[in-house]
Amino acid sequence: TVKTVEHLLAALAGLKIDNAVVEIDGPEIPGMDGSAWPFVQMFRKAGVREQSIPKQYIKIKKPIEVSIDGKFAMILPHPGQKISYTISFDHPVLRRQHLSFSLNEAYFAEHIASARTFGFLKDAEELKRRGLAKGVSLDNSVVIGETSILNNKLRYHDEFVRHKVLDFIGDLSLVGHPIIGHLIAFRSGHSVNIL
């Protein structure tokens, strides 16, 4: 198994790359700067070649919904690739953020790819105790304290929802083909996304 694949997968999916070989020598993908941006830069530098085999898509013909404990994700029929995502936290820094857009390579690279991982200081020790978030540090994530951000200046005023969208794109790429439909999520997170 390989852990923390979502940022790499989001970069591939966001740039419409669907045939790549990734070789690693450890149990997880490096955390880099906590976003997909370093991967986007590497892929752009390496270049992308169009192949002769037609791209395959999954076209949504009827609504699909998954929900757990007040969190949900759904996909509705839609002629393109659209994402609408809302986060809601009971915290003075976060509260509620929403983002809705049509997914294309330029939008992903400019508005989503550089949004970083974030987390609450109060949760960090528990994650470390359970052996999770090993690649997360103060340098590659936005750490939120009781009333403020403790490190790093935000790259976007709504960087938190943008990062959730980044994770969403990476998680959904695990289905194997791009999805044609309107993907809607409310506080979904990895546990709901992968269902």
d(CA 72, CA 66): 6
C-beta separation of 167 from 9 below 8 A: no
Nearest CA among 55, 146, 137, 135 for reference residue 93:
146
- Cβ–Cβ under 8 Å, residues 110 and 155: no
Catalytic residue (one of 91, 98, 177, 190): 190
Distances (CA, A) of 59 to 51, 80, 166: 21, 9, 21
Q: Can you tell me the distance from the alpha carbon of 10 to that of 174, in angstroms, rounded to the nearest whole number?
A: 10
Cα gap 18→9, rounded to integer Å: 10
190 assigned to active site: yes
Instruction: Kindly state the helix (H) or strand (E) to which residue 42 belongs, with its residue range.
Output: helix 37-46
Residue 48 near residue 148, CB atoms below 8 Å? no
Query: What residues are annotated to the active site?
Result: 190
